[in-house]
Structure 1
Amino acid sequence: MRFLGFSETALLIISLLETVRGLPTFVGKYGETIDVPCGEGKDKPEKLFLTKWKYTKADGSTGDLLKLSDKNLAIIPDVDYTGRVNLTQDLSLRITQTRLSDQKMYTCMLVAGEDILEYPVQVRILKTPSAPTITNQAKEMEIGKPTLLGECSTKDANPAANITWLKNNVPLMSDEKAIKITTTVQTDKTTGLASTSSKLEYTAVKEDLNAKFACAVKHSSLTADLVSTPVDFVINYPTEKVSLQVVAADVIKEGDNVTLKCKADGNPPPSSYSFHIKGKKVKVENSDSHTLTNVTRANTGEYKCSLVDNDAMAASVNITVMYLDITSITKGKVVKQLDESFEPTLFVNASGEPKVTWSKNNISLNSPPKFDKLKYSDSGVYECVVSMPGLFRKASFELIIQGAPVINKLSKKLSNTGNFKVLSCEAEGSPKPTVQWSINGTNATETPYVGGRVTHRITIIPTVNLTVNCTVSNELGQASKSLDVSTLFEEVTVDKRAEDSNDQTRVAVGVVIGVILAAVAIGLIYWIYMKRTRQGTWKTGEKEDGTTEESKKLEENQSQKAEV
């Protein structure tokens, strides 16, 4: 079974409609071959004598096309059908290269004996129109002014095609005011085919900016409308609003460049603008921008731009230039005395609320430095960082704590070999104290001076008992301490006595431990002996346990042996 296409279905529907009107209709396509049926759906009589096809002329008369008699086919010459007509096996009239002039009524006549049957058929020829095109397009349109937008045309159709205008794929309806559509149809005198054209006169509104216009062709031979390529138009309208934009970083700070960009909503946009800068009017040609270079806090304020020929059509914007200054701070070298109170000064001038952080010797501090009683360890380089978004400032000072020197500790120590003694003098003060000993020594060493403290060490070999002095001094004062140092011989004697005493103690402890161990050993031996004696070896058949008296005697004998 073959299914009909959409176009064939359309032709069939048209034929059925004609049939409803009372006359069978056959629809064919222009330029193609058609087979006009003879009495379609009706049985052919038997013993046909004659089959003939004829057509009705415009004046109502008839003309013969062909006839079949006794299997002899005769095609009757006709200037309009020469070489284009024939008879099919089922007696249909075949017409090739159809023309619009083929639209007429054809009659199939059948003669069988005395019966004469006639089957008239109305033939219609459809011609698909060409794709639509838009010509005479307007270059631009002005809001509120009726303008011929363009002319849409399609050619060579039968019957004539219908044209519909579309805006953004929505059909436009003529209201003879803002939308006016004029349609004309012309028929080719040679082919009889019709060409349709439609003109659209349109009054644009601002919302039509970037709108797409097209035209669509509707025809009974088409499965879907033919739509032209969409076009858009330049729509001109006057400026109604001006806007001013600031092109810069999110935070404008001193030293930045700031560009003012003026925009107008008119079309075409203005080519020049006026910028109002701090009471001065600056005109820029062929540009919409003006740049402020290396701005300062003095550039903070209101700025405007306007149309060159209309200052009232303007827009304004406020610009705030951020700044940050440290106007006063403790800096340089700051000398303070030990135990003195101190707090550095800091004054900031800023356009907003700044963030302040402190560090000492590159180590962050949790709070700003403030001292009720200075210590040597408070000395160091303090740095302050004041910051705002996009801005920061730094400042630093060196704090120096001074004080007269003191001796914190004076000590002596015998070397591990016992051949010499090491004397240590630990001093504190600022500037750094100088250490002097009352005797000469060797292998003098000094620890690093940190936090106002330094330790000086010397090595001596005392041959007599003596008193040693350590003196520390700086430009603010001095301090001294003495230490009694005995000879190495006395140290050795004392150490020997201590050693002997330790040896005696060790001997006594050893004797006690030995006695304890001996007692434990004797008890263990006695226990083993008693256990073996009680268990004994008995002969077979004898009683395993002795009498009470025998047991006591045995225990007494064993006890005596143990005592021996």
Structure 2
Amino acid sequence: MGASSTGTLHLILFLLLGLGMRAQATTTVTAMIGDTVTLPCEAKLFGDLNLVSWRVRLTDTSNEQLLSYSPSNSKTEMKNIPEYKDRILLNKNFFLNITDVGIKDERVFSCFTLVGSDIDEVPVALKVYKAPLTPEIMDPAAFLDEGVLQKVGVCVVNNTYPMPNVTWQHNDDNVDLNSPDVNVTNNVVTDENGFYEVQSSLSYSSRREEGKVSFICTAIYFEGLNKTSSKTSSPVTLLIHYKSSKVSLQVTPAQDVEEGTNVTISCSGDGYPRPENFNFMKSGEENVVVTDHYELINVTQEDTGEYTCSEQDNPNIKGGVNVTVHYLTLTMNPNKNISKMVGENITLDCLASSSGTVDVTLMKKNKVYQTPLRLDSLQYLHSGTYTCSARLREVKEMKREKAIMIRVEGKPKITKLTKKIVNNTKVITCVVEGFPKPVVQWSINGTAPREESVKDKKSQWNHKITVQPSENITVTCIATNAHGQDQDTVNLTAMRFKEPEDETLEQDPADPTDEKSDSKTDQAKVIVGVIVGLLIAAVIAGVIYWLYKKKSPTSKTKTNERGTADEIKKINKGDNNHTSGSSAV
């Protein structure tokens, strides 16, 4: 029998006996799409091998032979199956090599052998896979609203086989698919090459305390027997938006709002993002602003009150703050500089109006007076600047001050006209009071002498001349201002003669603003009266003694010898006269 006849016989026997082949467990082989895979032949190969054949199950009821090999003639016959043309090869171990593995190759292949009269068949299942591209979260939400089941995004897993398992992670923990705050829907499609595209959509209900949440999605895919791998998307972090549960106000400056200043009332809510538009109200009057603050320019006491604010899109949540505008006004009565005549009366008063408790003081220089202050019978010493000061206790820095000047005017008055001998000259001093400052003129027997400069004392002006009369003269002091004139005279003897004793002029008046001045003035008058009385008594006794001595010749000589010394002593005692007119010498 020929070789061809033998091969045909083997095939017939193979087919006939195949009905009684023993069942074998299926071996599974995996391969990555596009690779070359080798399927092992685990059928009986040792002994009198007559035939090796590979078949493929194209359908559930159809097996097709791919190729067969006869060892007797070392000939391989290929079945004309187009999808495996040029892609299969039987190697020396009778293993089947398939190149460029694709999804359609995921089938069951069988290796058949004929050894002697025994037929053996072992199936081999081919599983193919393709790793997906890295998952990507598409169309992520810009933010999440608190308490709203809101779409986070869609996790897209492309170009993979078989279909992967897509999972979501929230802050590194798997989302709980059983939670009412989570909803996941999957949509699976295949492309023209049969690869899967999975779109997994996640919706999530957030809470404000989370602040922000991070999401990733993971694709878990097949990569071999009992082996899976995974790829993870880049994270998507979303901020939680939530409405304010309360609003609060802040006043700048924070304390002691002073009338006339600018005040800013700022409103803020605890929602996110920070609200920007608010409604401000005072006493029910609404002011809508587009920012988070309300400006009060140059505030007055009318701006005092409670201010409230609320978000424009959440008007039921309100906050409030009380604003007190402190004010302090101070006036003086009289309220401007004033001139008064000597002897007139005036009352000074400090009048304060404020938003709280105010302390008011009236001062002249460093002396504090009670207010109102009544000044009776004004004197020159009352002239000066009087200052009212007011301080608000509630706002230590809030102070007010007003000042006026009181000018006491009067006609000139010569209070002293004195003479004394100094270094063989006679010095005459004229003390004048009055305001405006009197102009003083001197006259000696009708001629004007040169006046020497003398320092003023308080409200009095001192004028002085020095003369050396060679004969008896009359000196006149004339003081003049806008209110009148006063004058006084004093008689001087020639330098070679003695001066008679003069009356003592009255002393400087005491400060009438001093509460002790009245008693001091009375004491001074008593002292002056006593001194004047003693001087008059001494003068009378001296005249009587002089008349007595004049009758004695010896007394005349002694008197002439002592004349100069007695004259000096008497002049030094002073010759004072306060009345207008002349004093005889």
- What's the TM-score, normalizing by structure 1? 0.50
Greater RCO, 1 or 2 (C-alpha within 8 Å, sep 6+): 2
- What's the TM-score, normalizing by structure 2? 0.49
